[in-house]
Amino acid sequence: MKVIRLREGKERSLLRRHPWVFAGSVEKGKADLGETVRVESHDGRFLAWASFSPSSQIRVRAWSFDEAERIDAGFFQRRIAAAVAMRQRLAIQSNGVRLIHGEADGLPGLIVDRYEDILSVQFLSAGTERWKAQIADALLAETAALGCTRLYERSDSGVRQMEGLEPAKGWLRGGGDTTITLREHSIQLTVDVEEGHKTGYYLDQRENRALFARLVAQFGCQSVLNCYSYTGGFSVSALAGGATEVVSVDSSGPALARANAHVLLNGFDPAHHAALDADVNGTLRQMLKDGRQFDAIVLDPPKFAPSAAHADRASRAYKDINRLGLKLLKPGGLLLTFSCSGGIGAELFHKIVAGAGLDAQVDGYLLQRLEASPDHPTTLCFPEGEYLKGLVILKQG
Ligand code: SAH
């Protein structure tokens, strides 16, 4: 077993059970891509069993802080079983559930979403790549009782590059049709694990989509603008809440085609829905010029700030769309606004939206703060895992 020795003082994060060691903290030691290493403090004390990433800034990712633990197929089976059992306790009313959420489940770099009988998996770190076969077998063994029989790999994310890994995509176990029908709260949506974004769909917004349907009904919203709609989850939720004039805006044609199909699939009148293949920022400006107004608006943009280094530019982008959104709302209208940027904390996001309100000369009641669904958990030891934050704002006037 190769040993990675840390510089003096750099043992602190591992002692606090934080799973990452950055390149600059390593005193000496080398290993192959994804190889399991023993990490020691400068004076030779055991800190963790970990995987080694020779080219990544995150040089070491901890598997276990228990010296007696062995990193083998059994280890992955135990971690996966624990994560799946936790989701069972959450009793999520859907056949689309995030079963493994990386670091939060003690499996850095591994993302597993269940869509009906398919597991859609991202292997994003050198360590998960090294153990891919064992992880795939353990995943299917531990989810057999849920009815999962097939595993599709979606390791086509850009973050693999930083780990020195090539993109990979396709069936790892089983095969067949890549599209399933997802049920969440009162609606149904089709998900294609081959063509969809990320693993296929954005399960992290499940509870917020359900909340939106309730809010639309409660506040009697008729006209709804869903910005960055993807396949129309919030749009169909709005129709379920009783909206009669829903506009989905996205720059992805295939996602919008699916949004239109989802309106029909759920038995809603297609005349109540319009899909706009366009850039959101430009669309909001044009709508403002045209004097359009809405009872409710959703802003769920992609990650504007991939890291804290991009926070400034991202802040301006968030402020801009929120300013436009607040202006386009009728008095008494509802805004659901989100940021999924890890580099923008909840407090900063709140400040950005407050700044947008000032610029728009709009005040609003902050009805609720939102976060990712509980199957995308954050842990006490790894607060960086928190990424999705949202606000429900009721425009005054
Ligand atoms: N709210 C969605 C998820 C949104 S993901 C849901 O509940 O499923 C972000 C979406 O923004 C993606 O579908 C992407 O195609 C779209 N997008 C990215 N940049 C855009 C832009 N400038 N204008 C319009 N849409 C954009």
* Averaged pLDDT, 245-265: 98
DSSP per-residue string spanning 361-381 = T--EEEEEEEE--TTS---SS
Q: How far is the CA of 152 from the centre of ligand 1 (A)?
A: 23
Closest atom of ligand 1 relative to the 302 alpha carbon:
9
The ligand 1 site (C-beta within 6 Å) comprises 202, 205, 209, 228-230, 233-234, 249-252, 255, 279-280, 300, 302
What whole-number distance in Å separates Cα of residue 41 and Cα of residue 14? 9
Nearest CA to ligand 1 atom 18: 302
What whole-number distance in Å separates Cα of residue 167 and Cα of residue 123? 10
pLDDT band at 267; cut points 50, 70, 90: very high
Looking at residue 7, what DSSP letter applies? Answer: P
Q: How far is the CA of 227 from the centre of ligand 1 (A)?
A: 7
Nearest to 150 by CA among 102, 113, 190: 113
What whole-number distance in Å separates Cα of residue 35 and Cα of residue 3? 11
pLDDT value at residue 310: 86
CB 295 within 8 A of CB 221: yes
- pLDDT tens, 232-251? 999 999 999 999 999 999 99
Nearest to 230 by CA among 208, 210, 200: 200
The bridge status of strand 150-155 relative to strand 168-173 is: antiparallel
b/e code 11-30 from CB counts within 10 Å (16+ = b): bebbeeebbbbeeebbeebe
Closest atom of ligand 1 relative to the 252 alpha carbon:
15
Q: How far is the CA of 372 from the centre of ligand 1 (A)?
A: 17
| Ligand 1 pocket, mutate which of 199, 202, 230 (most atoms under 8 A from CB) | 230
| Ligand 1 pocket, mutate which of 188, 251, 373 (most atoms under 8 A from CB) | 251
DSSP per-residue string spanning 230-293 = TTTHHHHHHHHTT-SEEEEEES-HHHHHHHHHHHHHTT--GGGEEEEES-HHHHHHHHHHTT--
Closest atom of ligand 1 relative to the 230 alpha carbon:
13
Whether 311 has a pLDDT exceeding 90, the answer reads: no
| Ligand 1 pocket, mutate which of 228, 252, 276 (most atoms under 8 A from CB) | 228
Active site residue ranges: 340
CB-neighbour burial class of residue 384 (10 A; exposed 0-12, middle 13-18, buried 19+)? exposed
* Averaged pLDDT, 159-178: 96
Nearest CA to ligand 1 atom 7: 233
Nearest CA to ligand 1 atom 15: 252
| Ligand 1 pocket, mutate which of 190, 197, 236, 250 (most atoms under 8 A from CB) | 250
Tokens representing residue 244 in the block: 């009669």
Nearest to 63 by CA among 121, 27, 3, 20: 20
Whether 32 has a pLDDT exceeding 90, the answer reads: yes
pLDDT above 70: percentage of residues in the chain: 100
Q: How far is the CA of 381 from the centre of ligand 1 (A)?
A: 31
Nearest CA to ligand 1 atom 21: 279
CB 327 within 8 A of CB 357: no
What whole-number distance in Å separates Cα of residue 31 and Cα of residue 1? 9
Whether 397 has a pLDDT exceeding 90, the answer reads: no
What whole-number distance in Å separates Cα of residue 145 and Cα of residue 133? 20
Nearest CA to ligand 1 atom 23: 279
* Averaged pLDDT, 271-298: 98
Whether 307 has a pLDDT exceeding 80, the answer reads: no
CB 99 within 8 A of CB 87: yes
- pLDDT tens, 111-126? 999 999 999 999 999 9
- The answer to whether the pTM exceeds 0.95 is yes
What whole-number distance in Å separates Cα of residue 295 and Cα of residue 130? 51
* Averaged pLDDT, 66-88: 98
Tokens representing residue 33 in the block: 């891509």
Closest atom of ligand 1 relative to the 234 alpha carbon:
7
Average pLDDT, the chain: 97
- pLDDT tens, 209-219? 999 999 999 99
* Averaged pLDDT, 192-199: 98
Nearest CA to ligand 1 atom 3: 230
Question: Rounded to whole angstroms, what are the CA distances from 324 to 81, 255, 348?
Answer: 46, 24, 19
Q: How far is the CA of 374 from the centre of ligand 1 (A)?
A: 22
Strand order in the sheet with 110-115: 96-101, 110-115, 118-123, 150-155, 168-173
- With left for phi above 0 and alpha for psi between -120 and 50, is residue 31 left, alpha or beta? beta
- pLDDT tens, 340-385? 999 999 999 999 999 999 999 999 999 999 999 999 999 999 998 9
